[in-house]
Structure formats: C-alpha cells, structure tokens
A and B are shown apart, each in its own frame.
Chain A
Amino acid sequence: MFEILKSIISRMNANYADIRYETKKETKITFNGKELNQIGSNTTDGYVLRVLKNGGFSSIAFTKEADAEKAIKSVLENARLISKNIKKAVEFAKTEIIEDKFLPELKEDPRMISIDEKLELTRKYNGIPLKHKGISTTNIQYLEVIREKYFVSTEGSEIREDLTTTRINGLITSKDGNLIQNVRAGVGGSNGFALLRDKEEEFEKKTGIALELLKAKPVNGRAYNVILNPSMAGVFTHEAFGHFSEADLLEDNPSMREKMQLGAKLGSNVLNIIDDPIMPDQLGFYKYDDEGVEARPTQLLKDGVLVGRLHSRRTAAAFGEPLSGHCVAEDYRYAPIIRMGNIFIQPGTNTFDDLLAELKDGLYILDAKGGQTSGENFTFGAQYGYIVKNGKINEMIRDINISGNLYKTLQNISMVGNDLVLCQAGGCGKGQLNIRSCHGAPHIIIKDVIVGGV
C-alpha cells in the first residue's frame, strides 16, 4: 500500500503533500428492546490527499483508486484558488520525520473473538434492564471500529497505525403512563475486548436509575451551587473549555483569540487541565495524529492560567506555538481537524465528603447527556441529580440542563475532588464524529450555575 501512496504523492507538483489510506472495519450488533435489530461486519476504505502549494492548503477525500488523477487535479486547483485569494500564506510547523509501524497491544483482540460471542455478551447486558416491568425498551449496541491507517508525506514520513475501539452502550428507557425517562449505560475503550467483560453491574445500576427517575421531581429552573460528578465535570471540561483550546476554532476568530491568550488567568487557582492522548489504556489513546505528528501531553490550564493549546501543523505555525499532535480525522472520508484526545481536570486532594460539606445546600448533578458550546456560552444535560441540604444528599431530581458562561464558570470552580474518572465511550460531533473523544474529571463544585428546569 505504501508504494501506491508514494506513487500518488510523487505526482504532486507542490511544496508539501500527504496522503492517508485507511480501511475501516465496523462490527455492529443492535438490540431494540428484546429484538435483535442489526448484526454484521463490513469494511470500507478510502484516501485523503492534502496539499500545500504557494501558501494555499487544501484537501480532497476519495474512495476509488481510479479517481486519484481527478483528485490530484482538483486538490491542486483548490490550493491555487486559495493561494490567490488569501493575504497570509498557510505554513506548516516543522515536525520530525517518522517511519514507524505501531500496532497497539490489545487485551483480547476483538478480531479474534467470534461474532456469536459478541452477540451473546450484548444480549446478556441488554437483558438486564428488560427483566424489569417499568422498563419500556432498550437500545443497546455493540460497536467495534478498527481503523488500519497508512500515512505517507512528501517529507518522508511513513506511518502505519491501528486504532481499535470497542463498546457496548445505549439507552435504557422507562415509562409510566405518559412519562418517559431514559438513562445512558455503557462500557468500552480502546485497548481490547476484555474491558467489555463482567460489566453487569453498570447495566444493573443504570436500570435502577431509569426506574427511580419515574418517581423523581423535575428540577426548578434557577441558579444553584452544584457538585458535578466526574462524568458531568468531564463533559464540562470538554465542551466549555476544551473546544477553545483547539486552535482551529480560534485561528480566525479574533475576539475569542483575544480572550484565550496564553498567560490569561481564566480559572480559579484550584483548576488544572491537561490533554494527554498517550495515556495508556484510555479511550482517546493514539501515538501519531493524522498529520504524522507524534502526540504529546499538553498542559492547558495550570493553577487557573492558560498555558497551552491543541494544534495542527498549520495552527502551530500560525500561532507560533509548539506542536501537540492533535490533528485527527474521523475516518477516510475526512481531512483531519484539531481534536481533543484524553482531556481531564487533574485531581485535587479533597474527598467527595469534603465537597458535600463545602456545598451545604445545592444540587448534586450526575452523568452527562450531551452538551454543546458556542464560545463563551455552553449548555449540557444531566441524566439525574439530587437535592443536597445541609451537606446531605436528599431526593432525586430530573430534567436537568445546565448553562453558563465559560469564563465566569471557570472562576466559579471552588473545589476539586481527588477521585478522577475518565469516560469509556465518546462521541464528539465537531463536523466529524470522534468516537474516541475521551474526557474526565474528579467531582467538582461550581458556584452559581443556571439550571433550566422544564
């Protein structure tokens, strides 16, 4: 394959070109309620060609090898068009030339497990909620995605890397009359099939919550002091802060860039945030990004001060900051963009009980249910929560969405727990879907958060 790829880029009359070929094997097993809805494995493949010519940078994705000539012509035309229409030429930060084959060791390679065994395990977890009368349905899916990547650049890099993602996750839905509640349940990761085994407890726990939610009260919408559990605090870190550490979102947004200057004191002193894609065994793990840059841990916030940023080669040059190896594509249909790997709030020293005592009165909000940001404002949902009175957890509440201003909220984080947890299944939709987007945090306290009730 490398020879075919080298032959394609050797035909490029450009300052720089790279090409990535990938096969993507997807295995899906889906249950809707007790019915098996889908099962099967399929492999697709394609190419992404990128070119830098006279300061114009463009990319094209194509699926047929026979379209290579057409693709070369189009991408060069597009680069020329950009070059003619921009004032400041695009440059790439210098990176090490890498020749490597990296096939990570897995704890049970899912390729070696029969589809029957995958089906039985999924059926077993799906069956746990369905034993209960109040559960109206489930949507539980086994998903395995194996990307085999080949990367070649005109600078001489030649990299082979595999990314294997496995998970069993989905929704458990409870219903009482017209009231419908659902809870997400799931296990998964990037280091093999073994981590899916013996996870009955997760599905039992989430079933219990789905049933309890039928009796929970809707929260009253207003501002509260809150404790976020690691899942919620992780989504906050990803959505509200993490995206604005991605330099491509800032590059041409002068007003955001102004606020996100390195050295700016953005958060309270207790807040430290890092993105570390090479943390072993975590969902977001990779060695090289899709520009052939070696991934490296990047400290983003240190004692509340912005000290780093996630970069592509293009943005690292434009900002004059170090490369971080965070330019990643969903698959062969996309040119890479800047993504988080494993982003998390680094743990402090306080126990959960310390946090409850500090909060006194407020809400304890658990388990994220999707989030979104538009710069300084963010919104995300929680699956359930509890009212906290005088440091004690009281009744369950539902229909919780929180919203806030990034900068005010970072300043309002008053305590960070010592119990870091990273997520096992991801799904960040920044133009492309990143199923390995991993985030985490310990429990944290945030003061004065808007909670929208229904």
Chain B
Amino acid sequence: MNAPAYNFAYLDEQTKRMIRRAILKAIAIPGYQVPFASREMPMPYGWGTGGVQVTAAILGPEDVLKVIDQGSDDTTNAISIRKFFGKTAGVATTTSTADATVIQTRHRIPEAPLHAGQVLVYQVPIPEPLRFLEPRETETRRMHALGEYGLMHVKLYEDIARFGHIATSYAYPVKVNARYVMDPSPTPKFDNPKMDNCPALQLFGAGREKRIYAIPPHTTVVSLDFEDHPFTRYRFDAPCALCGAGDSYLDEIVTDDKGGRMFVCSDTDYCESRQSAGHRGSESAAPHKERAHG
C-alpha cells in the first residue's frame, strides 16, 4: 500500500510556492481576488480549507499560532485546526492575541488591537461580495475590473427604502484602498472598523472558491454607506457579564427556557485577560477560573 508521508505544515513545497505567489499578488492589489489552485485538504470544504492553506503556506517553525472560531479558542473547529498544525508543523500555539504571530480566524477579528508583524488569516466561505447580486463569475469579474459597483449601492439603498436601515449585519461590504469592493468574510459589521489602517497583514483564503485576497498593513478600508445613512456598528447594549467590558462584541447565552439571557464577550482571550486584570462583571462573584469539564 502507498503509505503516505507529509511535509512540514502538510502541503508540499511546490504547492506552498504557488500559494505564496498568489498571496504576493493579492498584497500587491489590495482587495483583488486572486484565483489559486486550491488543494483538497484533509478537512471538508467550508470548514476553513482556504485559511488552512494560507496558514500552511506562510507558517515557519518559529511562528506562534492562534486559531479562533466565533472569537473563541475553544470552539471545536478552532481546536481541530490548531491540533492539525500542532501535529503537521509542530509550531507553538497560543490563545493570547498579543503573543501570536499568525492568527487564523473564522467570523471574528480579535478585540485587542493587532500589531505590526502579525498576520491575521481569515477563513472565507464566499469571497465574492457581488455573488448574491450576480451569480455568474464571468459577470462579477467584469464588474470588478470596471469598478462597476452600482448594483451594490442599489441593494444598500433598497434596504434603506424598505427597512430604514442597511439590512446587512455581517459580511458587510467594504471598499479597499479606494478601489475594490471586498467581502470581509462573515464577521459581524462590528469588526469592520478594525480592518482599516490595521498595522497587521490581513490575508483571506477561500478554499472551495479558490480565491486569495489581502489587505496590506495600513491600508484604507471603508465600509460602504451613504452620507445621510452612515455606517454604524452594532453591539448589544450591555456590559459583559463576566468581565464588565462595555466595548466588546457579545455572545448571547440562553440560560434557561424562561427567557433568561446573559451577554458575554465573544472574544474569550480578551475576556479572560480582563478578568485576570481584575475586571468583574455582574455574574463573576469570584475571580473567574476555567471550570473543570464534565
């Protein structure tokens, strides 16, 4: 039987070179979707294969990797991807946003500001911001080439006409470097301002759709809006019940079947750092400790 043997970080060097070329091109044209020959990865499409390929291509033995899903290091898919790189690359892993050199994420940007030298790798399901307005790739590529984004503005305008608001709460479209309209991946629009003028490199990988795009450090990223309907962030108006933070994006936790709710930070590292610095919320009578499971 052909027993398999795998390279550092799983992908062969030939493939990594191909992906790095795509990444370099993506950095050179901020917000432009670069096609790449996405490989079949040992996890399913739609579960982060694009992000995993980007991470595999840029990871070096000295890197410190953090993986989050929904802002949390402890969600099952984040654990699975972290273990994958722990096993195939043997790199150090962390849950600390500040200590990580590479952060792979699904659906969130960490609350703590990123710093120069860090790379944030986004997992992207549908890279094309115009996809739900125009299903054809041949059409959307032409629209990007011509900078023809009227359709998107019409959609946002129709939202306002119908609901009084732009009815997009996540994967909220942005314009990068005053040129390409880009899908920020399904992060809540709360996170959009963090992409603007960010000192870290932001890379986006869509495995199934075979696209890579990038926001180089200190690039202008503007959420689409209108002068009379400016972009607004949304967060539930409450402090975190565990750390008391009034500025973080919150998860809604259903506590019983009688309408009981509590709101806690979605970014678990941010929440835990605040708690260990002595911040308290309404539900944390004692200093928070990780509960033993089971």
Chain A partners chain B: no
